[in-house]
Amino acid sequence: MTAGLTPMRMNERRLSASFFPWIFAVLMGGTMTAIITAILLLVTDVEWTQFPVRWVENWLLAWVIAIPVIVVVAPRARVLASRIAVPPAVPQRR
| Predicted confidence band of residue 62 (pLDDT cuts 50, 70, 90) | very high
The answer, yes or no, to whether residue 91 has pLDDT greater than 90, is no
| Cα 81 off chain centre by | 18
The answer, yes or no, to whether residue 14 has pLDDT greater than 60, is yes
The answer, yes or no, to whether residue 43 has pLDDT greater than 80, is yes
Give the number of other Cβ atoms within 10 Å of residue 74's Cβ.
14
By three-state DSSP, how is residue 13 classified? coil
pTM of the model: 0.71
Q: CA-CA distance, 54 to 46, in Å (whole number)?
A: 9
Asked whether 25 and 77 are in contact (CB, 8 A), the reply is: no
- Please name every residue paired with 15 in a beta bridge, in sequence order, or none if there are none: 5
